[in-house]
Amino acid sequence: MIRDNKFFIENPYGRWVRDNLFSSSSSAFLTFFAGFMVIYSYRGIVGFILNPERMWTSVTYNMKLYMILAYPDEAMIRVWLSVGLALLLGGLSIGFYNSGKTISLGGIFQKLFTISAVIALLIALAPTNTNVIQNDGSIEVVEIIPQDVRMLILGPSLVLTLAFFFLKNIKIKSLFNTAKVNLTYCGLIIASLYFIKIPTISLDSSGERIIPDPFLPIASTTYIPWTILYVGMLIFFFIGSLLKNRDIKIMARLIPIGWFLCPLFIFSWIFKKPLVELNTVFSADIPSILVFGIIGFLIIRFSDNQSLGAYRTPINIGFLVLSVVVFLLPVVFIFKATMVLLLLLLVVSPAIATTKEGKRQLFIVWVVSLFVLTFLIRGASSDTMLVTPTGSIFGGFSLTWLLAIFGTYASFPLGLALALGRTSTLPVIRIICTGIIEIVRSVPYITWLFFASVMLTVFLPSGVEFNLIIRVLILTAFFSGAYFAEYIRGGLQSIPKGQYEAANAIGMNPFQRIFLVIVPQALRAIIPTLVGSVITSFKDSSLVAIIGLFDILRIGTSVIPAQSQPVAFIGRNLEQLVFLSFFFWVFTFVFSRRSMKFEKRLGLGER
Amino acid sequence: MSKKAIVSLLILSMIAVACATEEAVEEVAVEEEHDHSDESTLDMVLERGFVKCGVSGSATAFSETGADGSITGFDADYCYAVAAALFGDYSKVEFKSLTSAERFTSLAAGDIDVLIRNTTWTQSRDTELGNDFGPTTYFDGQQLMGRNSDGISSSSTLADIDGLSVCTNAGTTTEKNITEGAGLVGATITLVTVEKFSEAMDKFIAGECDIVTTDGSALVGRRAVNDALNDWSIFPQSPISKEPLGPVYRSNDSKWGDVINWVVYATIIADEYGVTSANVDSVDTDALPELGRLFGANDGELQSVMGLDKKAFYNVIKQIGNYDEIYSRNLNPVGLFREGGANDRWTNGGLIYAPPAR
């Protein structure tokens, strides 16, 4: 009947239905079966969510706990500064890397049509009743969506669907930049904070619950910071666009470096006191920058000096011995750290500082890294000033982010080093790297977590003990580093031998060959795998609940279901699980969609 | 700048990160190297200026984490009371939320000064693990809960659960107690073990098991929350296990142990005299010499010998309240009442008793 019906042959929609859903009798069966399953589960989920037994205020009331655990209120500005830094950088990047892709008004209406049609369909399919289990074990049927409410939502959404259906065919030539359209969507979300009301609970000054619960705008305390940050993001978007139009090349380097340094700044802002003791700055930091700046300048200046050629080996060995001596001497730590950096410069400079331009650039890099190093060491060595009632600063979603970002961030260079080491021709390095990779990868993550929490203290000298979160971070870096190493090795092996030979043929040294020819191509080939592993580490971070850290999952499953005061949320764990699964889904979904676009831009899979 | 320059900057920065982390570790190490092994915890805590108290952080009404991250509850109030006695300021507490697996390790390692985490006093924990237990603050006991519609009533016994399925949380003594108890009376039960008590409750509500068992306090709380006073019954009348809950500290440190013990006793003595945080200022210490000694109204010698301020216990009562206040504030809202139970005053037939202050 479908095969011969005129509608299913001539109408484009009808033909789509015939070709995709009912092309044969078996596919028609599959369509019905799958459709039944989807609708059945959807009705079940809606019935569960709208069940009068559920108490969703347990989620909304505890939102701050979910996000930052017990981060002190008076220090909240640090959290906002961190979020703001990321957003401003994001705005700048969107503006600067704007691909100029456009979407027509019809295209926008096409999207809106799809969305409103889906909403109308979901409303129409939603169940009217659901089962509530009574205390005595009997089951009562309760109406959750009365007919009039359904009509009230269904009517407007159907009207909108029809309107968008006709609007999308209008031929209007005006085109909109996709980046701007997406920013507008973000703006709409922020604006919704002002008027969308989500039920939560409010208490009066004596801690008594105000009855009846007023419908408060969700996150009534956060919409002002969000608005400010959004405006800032818009400003930076336009600055980025301006810089792109002016064709300022330096930004193409500064933005990635900014993204690279951003987590470090955020870490020091959230965790440390931003206190600078001028005494140490003048007595240790500035002299060290000056002294090492001059030494670095001399190294760069004379690195290709022919008359020094004979003395190069003695000079290198001399610096090595000197740095070992400095490391053992009781000097300020910053000298020790900079000494290591200097050794690296000594190794790198003959390869880069071959021309006048190269020397100039290397010197800039050297001075910048001296400043960065000094800043980091000062930041990391100051005590945290924050005192929280639970004794732990990190918890909830901020801990999840910390583990996911730091896991990726620290494990990437580690994985790269391990992968290069594993493919090295030097047996010692190869065996050590292979050993690390194989040992780390062959033991489950949970076991390593227990190792970090319980056994690591046994291996460390007595009296030495450091924060559990730092232990877990180091371990996470190693664990994902080992996996990254294997992915990167796969990428390295996909590079044809001709690339190595070509690099050799034009006279590149090993350093240049690896970092200018091989690694960029290898990384490009494995981006989808890396994204997958980042998503995995984001989800895996909830495992740290096992060793007693308050991650978002532990807050949802143990902490909130135990609250009896001021509002009793005892036993409300199902709501938390539903919320958490939705929450994780949103983040991983957005992330994977963005990475797909990124892959497309790089042209992966097209050659 | 060329690509080379960027690559080298990245590498230099990575090393910088490594160095920065190392520095942070070094700092902590130096801080921890100060050895306190031969010092009493009391001196250490007084020197530090705040007390580190190990709690659960997710035990309803005992130590729960509020929406703003603050910790409240019966156990938490005793942490505050210790701080009030030591520093005259109850807020000088740093809480550490511990799982049941890590609580004793944490205490032994010195991460916390005192563990007040609804911990049952048992022989092995007292003797083998290097802990000492303070006075019991709450007498709990394992009970069972079933539906009235299944023929269960508050006068049921273990023999009545023959053939029924029982839900409990795994890995604790509750599982062992119910198996042993059912075996003694010859009842065959199907044991369904889940990880958390809240999951056991979910299964019970969904009808996947007929009986749920854990400590009586939790059962009463859940029955009150689910508004099932007439539908669910808790039995047997006398619990199938004894669960005395109280503070725990490291053994061989009686100076510190005395402080904890007498903070608890002070709240109980104040309750015996009916002294609350509201009327503690108007107590006639001449007519009641025991309270005079306890609150340091006279010379306060007893407290000074302990290494405390003479007003230490006055501060406890003034800032936190007596035993009854702590109990009512935290446990009444979840349906746990003192009257007629083991946690009533000894003069009313309960077990809450303190040695005299003199």
In Å, how far is A152's CA from the nearest CA of chain B? Answer: 33
pLDDT, tens only, A10-45: 777 778 888 888 888 898 899 999 999 999 999 999
Instruction: Enumerate the domain spans of chain A.
Output: 7-49, 72-262, 276-381, 406-607
* Angstrom distance (rounded) from CA A362 to CA B2: 9
| C-beta separation of A514 from A424 below 8 A | no
Q: Is A337 on the interface with B (CB under 8 A)?
A: yes
Q: Looking at chain B, which residue has its C-alpha nearest residue A416?
A: B11
Residues A524 and B343: their CA atoms lie apart, in Å, by: 68
C-beta atoms of B64 and A558 within 8 A: no
Tell if the CB–CB gap between B199 and A133 is shorter than 8 Å.
no
Q: Three-class SS string for chain B?
A: CCHHHHHHHHHHHHHHHHHHHHHHHHHHHHHHCCCCCCCCHHHHHHHHCCEEEEECCEECCCEEECCCCCEECHHHHHHHHHHHHHHCCCCCEEEEECCCCCHHHHHHCCCCCEEEEEEECCHHHHHCCCEEECCCCEEECEEEEEEHHHCCCCCCCHHHHCCCEEEEECCCHHHHHHHHHHHHCCCCCEEEEECCHHHHHHHHHCCCCCEEEEEHHHHHHHHHHCCCCCCEEEECCCCCCCEEEEEEEECCCHHHHHHHHHHHHHHHHHHHHCCCCCCHHHCCCCCCHHHHHHCCCCCCHHHHHHCCCCCHHHHHHHHCCCHHHHHHHHHHHHCCCCCCCCCCEHHHCCCECCCCCC
Average pLDDT over residues B139-157: 90
Residue B37 at interface with chain A, using a CB cutoff of 8 Å: no
Residues A286-325 pLDDT 10s: 888 888 888 888 887 777 776 766 677 777 788 888 888 8
Chain center to CA of A510: 33
Position A10: which residue type?
A: E
Rounded CA separation B272/B354 (Å): 9
Q: For A406-607, CATH number?
A: 1.10.3720.10
pLDDT over threshold 70, residue B236: yes
Question: Distance of CA A433 to CAs A428, A598, B11, B275, Å?
Answer: 9, 31, 19, 69
Residue A261 has pLDDT above 60, yes or no: yes
Q: Are residues B109 and B227 in the same domain?
A: no
pLDDT at residue A607, as a whole number: 47
Q: Reply yes or no on whether the pLDDT at A548 is more than 80.
A: no
Residue-wise pLDDT tens digits, A205-220 = 665 555 444 455 555 5
Facing B12 at nearest CB: one of A365, A474, A550: A365
Residue B5 confidence class, pLDDT cut points 50, 70, 90: low
Locus of tokens 């509201």: B278
Residues 104-143 of B with CB under 8 A from A: 105, 109
Q: Tell me which long-range contacts B190-195 makes (C-beta under 8 A, separation of at least 24).
A: B190/B164, B190/B165, B190/B166, B191/B165, B191/B166, B192/B165, B192/B166, B192/B167, B192/B168, B193/B167, B193/B168, B193/B169, B194/B167, B194/B168, B194/B169, B194/B170, B195/B169, B195/B170, B195/B171
A372 touches B at CB < 8 Å: yes
| A181-184, long-range: CB < 8 A, 24+ apart | A181/A103, A181/A108, A183/A94, A183/A233, A183/A234, A183/A237
B198–A410 CB contact, under 8 Å: no
CB contact under 8 A, A466 and B228: no
pLDDT tens figures, A375-398: 767 665 655 556 665 556 678 888
Q: B13 and A369: CB-CB below 8 Å? A: yes
B6 with A257: Cβ contact below 8 A: yes
Determine which helix (DSSP H) or strand (DSSP E) holds A431, and give its type and residue range: helix A427-441
d(CA B343, CA B61): 15
Residues of chain B with Cβ-Cβ distance to A368 below 8 Å are 9
Are residue B344 and residue B249 in the same domain, yes or no?
yes
Write the single-letter amino acid at B98. Answer: L
Range in A220-234, A271-285, A399-413, B11-25 with the lowest mean pLDDT: B11-25
Chain A residues with beta carbon closer than 8 angstroms to that of B98 = 548
Most confident range (mean pLDDT) of A155-169, A278-292, A316-330, B257-271 is B257-271
- Integer Cα distance of A381 and B28 in angstroms: 9
- What was the pLDDT predicted at B35? 47
Per-residue pLDDT averaged across A166-186, rounded?
A: 81
Surface of A (395-434) touching B: CB under 8 A:
410, 413
Say whether B102 and A463 touch across the interface (CB within 8 A): no
Percentage of the residues of chain B whose pLDDT score is greater than 70: 89
Selection from B172, B232, B236, B182 nearest residue B204 by Cα = B232
**B259 and B215 fall within a common domain:** no
Highest mean pLDDT among A248-257, A370-379, B271-280: B271-280
CA distance B59 to B99: 10
Q: In angstroms, rounded to a whole number, what is the distance separating the alpha carbons of residues B264 and B258?
A: 10
Residue B300 covered by a domain: yes
Pairing of strands B51-55, B58-59: unpaired
Helix (H) / strand (E) containing A67: helix A63-68
Within an 8 Å CB–CB cutoff, is residue B28 touching chain A?
yes
Name the B residues in 229-258 with CB < 8 Å from any A CB: 231-232
Q: Which of residues 301-330 of B touch A (CB under 8 A)?
A: 330
Whether residues B146 and B218 share a domain: the answer is yes
Q: Is B31 contained in some domain?
A: no
Check which CATH number belongs to the domain holding B262 and give it: 3.40.190.10
Q: Which of B33, B50, B55, B65 to mutate to test the interface with A (most CBs of A within 10 A)?
A: B65
Q: Which of residues 530-559 of A touch B (CB under 8 A)?
A: 547-548, 550, 555, 557-559
Closest approach of B93 to chain A, Cα-based (Å)? 8
> Nearest by CB to A341, which of B12, B66, B199?
B12
Which of B25, B150, B333 is facing A466, going by the closest CB pair? B25
Q: Which residues of B touch A381 (CB under 8 A)?
A: 23-24, 27
pLDDT value of residue B31: 43
Cβ–Cβ < 8 Å for A549, A532: no
Q: What is the pLDDT of residue B326?
A: 94
Amino acid identity of residue A467, one-letter, is N
Pairing mode, strands B131-133 and B243-250: antiparallel
Give the total residue count for chain B. 358
Whether B324 contacts B338, CB under 8 Å:
yes
- Among B57, B60, B206, whose Cβ lies nearest the Cβ of A564? B60
| A355: helix, strand or coil | coil
Of B20, B69, B147, the CB nearest to A380: B20
CA atoms of A112 and A116, how far apart (whole Å): 6
Backbone angles phi, psi at A134, to 5 degrees: -80, 165
| CA pair distance A9, B207, nearest whole angstrom | 53
In contact, A477 and A410? CB cutoff 8 Å: yes
φ and ψ of B34, to 5 deg: -65, 115
Confidence (pLDDT) at B32: 44
A143 bridge partner residues: A129
Same domain, B96 and B227: no
Q: What percent of chain B has pLDDT over 90?
A: 36
Average model confidence (pLDDT) for chain A?
Answer: 81
Residue B24 reports pLDDT greater than 50:
no
Show the domain range for B54: 41-139+244-348
- Do B135 and B157 sit in the same domain of this protein? no
Reported as a single tens digit per residue, the pLDDT across B26-52 is 444 444 444 445 678 999 899 888 899
Please give the share of chain A, as a percent, with pLDDT higher than 90: 12
The token pair at B240 is 């199938």
Minimum mean pLDDT range among A110-124, A355-369, B187-201: A355-369
CB contact under 8 A, B66 and A566: yes
> What pLDDT does residue A361 have?
78
> So what's the pLDDT on residue A325?
82
Helical residues (DSSP H) of A247-382, grouped into ranges: 251-271, 278-280, 286-302, 312-328, 333-352, 356-381
Return the pLDDT at A592.
86
Instruction: Give tens-digit pLDDT for A467-488.
Output: 777 788 888 888 999 999 999 9
Domain boundary among B241, B265, B281: B241
B66 in the same domain as B94: yes
Q: Is residue B296 part of a domain?
A: yes
Which of B241, B269, B296 is the last residue before a domain boundary?
B241
Q: Is the pLDDT of residue A462 over 60?
A: no
Geometric angle at alpha carbon B204, from B201 and B207, rounded to 5°: 150
CA-based nearest distance A106→chain B, Å? 42
Query: Minimal Cα distance from B331: which residue of A?
Result: A564
Provide the pLDDT for residue A214.
47
Rounded to whole angstroms, the Cα distance separating B77 from B80 reads 5
Output the CA torsion sign for B342, B347, B349, B355: positive
Gap between the Cα atoms of A22 and A26, Å rounded: 8
Tally of structural domains, chain B: 2
User: Which chain B residues are within 8 Å of A202, Cβ to Cβ?
Assistant: none
Q: A49-101: per-residue pLDDT in tens?
A: 988 888 888 888 888 888 888 777 777 787 888 888 889 999 988 888 877 77
Tokens for A86?
């990321």
- Enumerate the residues of chain B whose CB falls inside 8 A of the CB of residue A515: 4, 7
Give chain B positions within 8 Å (CB) of A337.
Answer: 16, 19, 22-23
Confidence of residue B340 (pLDDT cuts 50, 70, 90): confident
**Crossing angle for the helix pair A527-540 and A397-422, nearest 10 degrees?**
140
The candidate with the shortest Cα–Cα distance to A126, out of A51, A34, A33, A53, is A51
Cα-based distances in Å from A248 to A363, A402, A433, B310: 22, 33, 42, 73
At residue A465, does pLDDT exceed 70? no
Is A337 in Cβ contact with B25 (below 8 Å)? no
Beta-carbon contacts of residue A36 (< 8 Å; ≥ 6 apart): none
Report CB contact under 8 Å: B3, A516: yes
Residues in A closer than 8 angstroms to B226, CB to CB, are 135, 571
Does B201 sit within 8 Å of A253, measured CB to CB? Answer: no
Q: Could you tell me how far CA A434 lies from the centroid of its own chain? A: 29
CB–CB contact B330 A364 (8 Å): no
Helix H or strand E segment including A37: helix A25-49
What distance in Å separates the CA atoms of residue A61 and residue A136, rounded to the nearest whole number? 30
Nearest to B146 by CA among B50, B222, B77: B222
Select from B215, B241, B267 the last residue of a domain.
Answer: B241
C-alpha closest to that of A183 among A87, A106, A277: A87
Helix residue ranges per DSSP H, A101-146: 105-125
Q: Return the pLDDT at B29.
A: 42
Q: Among the ranges A2-11, A241-250, B312-321, which has the highest mean pLDDT value?
A: B312-321
Per-residue pLDDT at A464: 54
Contact state of A381 with B27 under an 8 Å Cβ cutoff: yes
Query: What SS3 state is found at A143?
Result: strand
Give a yes or no: residue B66 inside a domain: yes
